[in-house]
Structure 1
């Protein structure tokens, strides 16, 4: 599990990382950590954050881009992990709903018990997401594919190819059926033949999307408006 801290005060990062590391040791959670001292520096590494960060502890009030703005940009670009706001003010809870933040912690008054509960609740959600699979039926073979690793589906008549991790697998289905199965899982229909995981889209223009690995996929004319709206609004 990869955990990120973003705060303009090094002592706050050190304090919370030390607490979270202790929680991880006691609960046998295998975790790695990164930290950023500004919203701009975090967004500079946005691709790595979107693909690799499971939980982000994010300061609400920072010079430059504040935590609310940073969270909004991350969501708009497909980040599906857990965000926990660090704040001095309780009103952060109102902004949390707008960017689908998991919870918030009051920097100076949060007890160790409160920090542990908020963190472990986020860990549980991450584990539930990571445990999601889709069972696909190929020719003489069944395959359980981790949903979080799927980049896109490509359909050619009734044969569908799923591209995930560094592998692919052919099976029989329809793109409409896949849309229903993966509803609210972060997938976007971009043409008659492609269903794409939003978090793996780096950018898009009229007629094509650019994937994180550099691959380009075609966007159908009738699907462009919905793609634009979903990417803009951070819809999953």
Structure 2
């Protein structure tokens, strides 16, 4: 699944991009997880390297797209940046932040489709860590490790939760913990393995998970969990 962020203060422009993404998704067979931000300041708040692509409006009231891109590049050299602007002279500045290109407003579907094909070509050249497994329904799956939110032990199997799907696998949390070692996963409870990139906060003895819901943090694991989360955020995040 490709994770796409739209950073745009104009609601009409956002709707146009969402419509183009939906049309391209249906015609290409690709799957997108899309998030929208109203300003550059919003995308910078607690920024983590969770996005594959960012469509950045150049002119926004609090933090403009070029400033946001410079801040993002300080911690994320991989995300593909495409500027969306009504003024083509801004395109030259895009070289400073290694932007792929720019789209001129109002964005036509023809231009958007061309850009998405370029984006897909670049993403295919970037190595992605993937997990291969057979689910209990007998189907063989390949998913991006970054798309896994958390893994839960359920009797003699585990349930693997992604951004929009749950897979059941005949294995153990311990086995998955070993397979995913070094990829940002940590136990918050004896039967729960969570991807730290999807933790959005901690309240008491629970951690909030991107996509909704919370997971319990056991008392013996809380100190280790908080320390690992702080290290993870500190190494990948920036503040506005």
TM-score (ref. length: structure 2): 0.54
Structure 1 unaligned regions, length at least 5: 97-101
Structure 2 vs 1, CA of residues 8 and 220 (structure 1 numbering), >3 Å: closer, same or farther? closer
Which of 172, 177, 180 is the matching residue for 1:178?
Answer: 180
Confirm or deny: 8 A CA contact 1:7 1:38 kept in the other structure.
Answer: yes
Displacement of 1:143: 5.0
Structure 2 vs 1, CA of residues 113 and 106 (structure 1 numbering), >3 Å: closer, same or farther? same
Displacement of 1:171: 0.5
CA distance in 2, matches of 1:132, 1:192: 24
CA RMSD of aligned residues (A): 5.5
Displacement of 1:86: 3.4
Task: Show the counterpart of 1:57.
Answer: 55
CA distance in 2, matches of 1:55, 1:94: 17
Which structure is higher in RCO with an 8 Å CA cutoff and minimum separation 6? 2
Matched pairs, number? 205
Per the alignment, in what secondary structure is the counterpart of residue 134 of structure 1?
A: strand
Displacement of 1:118: 4.2
Task: Show the counterpart of 1:99.
Answer: none
Structure 2 unaligned regions, length at least 5: none
Confirm or deny: 8 A CA contact 2:188 2:216 kept in the other structure.
Answer: no
Confirm or deny: 8 A CA contact 1:136 1:171 kept in the other structure.
Answer: no
* Correspondences of 1:21-100 after superposition (within 5 Å): 24=24, 28-29=27-28, 38-39=39-40, 55-67=53-65, 68-69=67-68, 82-86=80-84, 88-95=90-97
